Amino acid sequence: MLEHLDHGSNTFASHPIMKSCERLSVFKTILPPCCVKYYPQDPTILFISTYKLEEGKKFGTIDIYKHKDEPQLVKSIDTSAILDLKIQGDRVATAHSDGKVVLWKFEVEDLELTQINDFHMFEDTVTSVNFRDDKVVATCTDGSISILDLNDGTFGELPTRHDLECWISEFGELGEMSNVVFTGGDDSKMIAHDLRTQEMIWQTGPRFHDAGVVSILSAKPTWNSNNPNQLWTGSYDDNLRIMDLRLMDPQNPSLMTGWLPKTLQQENLGGGVWRLIPSNTDNRVLACCMYDGARIVDIKDDKFEVTRYFKRDHESMCYGGDWKDNIVTTCSFYDNVVQVWDPESSIDM
pLDDT tens-digit map of 39-96: 999 999 999 999 999 999 999 999 999 998 889 999 999 999 999 999 999 999 999 9
Say whether pLDDT at 273 is over 60: yes
In a domain, 152, yes or no: no
Q: Provide the pLDDT confidence category of residue 176 given band limits of 50, 70 and 90.
A: confident
Q: Provide the pLDDT confidence category of residue 7 given band limits of 50, 70 and 90.
A: very low
Distance CA 219, CA 311 (A): 27
In a domain, 287, yes or no: no
pLDDT, residue 108, reads 95
In a domain, 124, yes or no: no
Say whether pLDDT at 250 is over 70: no
Mean pLDDT for all residues in the chain: 91
pLDDT, residue 5, reads 42
Percent over 90 (pLDDT), the chain? 82
Residue 308 has a CB neighbour count (10 Å cut-off) of 23
Across 29-33, 88-92, 159-163, 301-305, least confident range: 301-305
pLDDT tens-digit map of 229-238: 899 999 999 9
In a domain, 95, yes or no: no
Structurally, the chain folds into a number of domains equal to 1
Q: Provide the pLDDT confidence category of residue 6 given band limits of 50, 70 and 90.
A: very low
In a domain, 341, yes or no: no
Distance CA 60, CA 82 (A): 6
pLDDT, residue 211, reads 97
Distance CA 178, CA 258 (A): 19
In a domain, 246, yes or no: yes
Q: Domain span at residue 183?
A: 158-270
Say whether pLDDT at 17 is over 70: no
| Cα-based distances in Å from 260 to 17, 63, 231, 243 | 32, 41, 12, 10
Say whether pLDDT at 219 is over 70: yes
Residues 24-40 have a mean pLDDT of: 97
Residues 328-345 have a mean pLDDT of: 96
pLDDT tens-digit map of 311-326: 999 999 999 999 998 9
Verdict on whether the full-model pTM lies above 0.75: yes
Residue 111 has a CB neighbour count (10 Å cut-off) of 15
Alpha carbon 49 to its chain's center: 13
Tally DSSP H helices, then E strands, for the chain: 0, 29
Report the CATH number at residue 217.
Answer: 2.130.10.10
In a domain, 200, yes or no: yes
The candidate with the shortest Cα–Cα distance to 133, out of 183, 178, 95, is 178
pLDDT tens-digit map of 126-170: 999 999 999 999 999 999 999 999 999 999 999 999 999 999 999
pLDDT, residue 8, reads 37
Beta bridge partners of 106: 113
In a domain, 220, yes or no: yes
Across 16-30, 115-129, 249-263, least confident range: 249-263
